[in-house]
Amino acid sequence: MNLDFLGWSEELALHFAPFAAQGLQVGRVARQHQHTYLLYTDSGELSAEVSGKLRHQAHSAEDIPCVGDWVVMQSPAGQTALIHHILPRRTQFARKAAGATTDVQLVATNIDSVFLICGLDHDFNLRRIERYLVMIWESGASPVIVLNKIDVCEQLDQYLQDIEAIALGVPVIQISALHNQGLNALAPYLQPGRTVALLGSSGVGKSTLTNQLVGEKIQAVQTVRADDSRGRHTTTSRQLICLTSGAVLMDTPGMRELQLWTTTKGVSTAFADIESLATQCRFRDCQHQQEPDCAVQAALTEGELDIQRLQNYRKLQREEAYLQRQRDQKSQLNTKARWKQATKSMRQRQKDKWQ
């Protein structure tokens, strides 16, 4: 198995050099199960698990290997390999874990491009596309919008116009995965050593596209409901798939819940048009409501900005602020708990000393 095709680079080699001197090996996480991992290495596939030290030192899900990670491991003959270290990630796609807890869930790491698959049927949703774009830009990867099911779409020109209004500068490719139509346009992104992730809701055709790109049926495909074009999750876990082009493809399960995690640049990049308008407002702290000389409100009046796009922008900003408050609160509670434990341990040592 060629590490260069898997995305190995000179930068990774520099980070790995001290470990190589210790006789350790390197591999890339291809699949993650509950407690074990499948690694791609230069000697083939290996089954691995996280070492006790690495698991003990992990403070969050970001400290545990994820599909796409390059890891340092030890592989004794005839035994399960042990993962000791995670090499620095170039990019990482993360979301807030489902539920009420404030925890992160890593979706993919070390991704070059993300194919955002959108079905041109009843499930087409501009607001969901905006949310995906925020998270892709935040990950550090480059988005590519792939409009699938052009064979059943009667409003293609309108959909293209709608996409161009919200996805400034993002490449848009039109395909029919089922009929193998337009897939050649994806080739520039599937070059040797490049890693591409497929993202999108269930039923948009990710598994069908995966099978077409691989050249054989490796993913189950199910029909979608006629009323809303939603499908069942045919892909149940993330995995790396090596293509004959030398690229690596990562298919992911459809996501029912897609909550933000961090958005230091995602919102501002995905809504660059609104952010640019805001710089033209009279007041720096303009809330774009009733303030005089508000460029955002002027754009709404003149039809240059869609009200639903502005509302989604505000919604994501509120979600971002709320999540930041939750993280800050959790951090304060964790710090308080550590100090409490340290004080307790100190008192116990003092007590033992005088006994």
Please provide the DSSP assignment of 308-355 as one string.
HHHHHHHHHHHHHHHHHHHHHHHHHHHHHHHHHHHHHHHHHHHHHHH-
Q: Are 327 and 101 contacting, i.e. CB atoms less than 8 angstroms apart?
A: no
CA-based nearest residue to 320, from 258, 256, 261, 257: 261
Q: How far is CA 144 from CA 132, 188, 246, 269, in A?
A: 11, 11, 19, 14
d(Cα 239, Cα 29) in Å, to the nearest integer? 8
108: amino acid identity, one letter: A
pLDDT at residue 218 in the model: 75
Q: What are the phi and psi torsion angles at 169 (to 5°)? A: 80, 0
**Could you read off the pLDDT tens digit of each residue along the chain, which spans 355 residues?**
789 999 999 999 999 999 999 999 999 999 998 889 999 999 899 999 999 999 998 888 889 999 999 999 998 887 899 999 999 999 988 877 665 565 678 888 999 999 999 999 877 899 999 999 998 998 999 999 999 999 988 889 999 999 999 998 999 999 999 999 999 999 999 999 999 999 988 889 999 999 999 988 877 665 554 454 454 544 457 899 999 999 999 987 755 556 666 666 888 899 999 999 999 999 988 989 889 999 999 999 999 999 999 999 999 888 877 766 765 565 555 556 566 666 766 777 776 666 6
Cβ-count burial of 21 within 10 angstroms (0-12 exposed, 13-18 middle, 19+ buried)? Answer: exposed
DSSP bridge pairs for 49: 82
d(Cα 122, Cα 19) in Å, to the nearest integer? 52
CA-based nearest residue to 267, from 331, 321, 305, 308: 321
Which residue matches tokens 């790995």?
16
How confident is the model over 163-202, as pLDDT tens digits? 999 998 999 999 999 999 999 999 999 999 999 999 988 8
pLDDT at residue 160 in the model: 93
Q: What are the phi and psi torsion angles at 37 (to 5°)? A: -135, 150
- For the chain, strand residue ranges (E) read 25-32, 37-41, 44-50, 70-74, 81-86, 92-96, 104-109, 113-119, 142-148, 172-174, 195-199, 239-242, 248-251
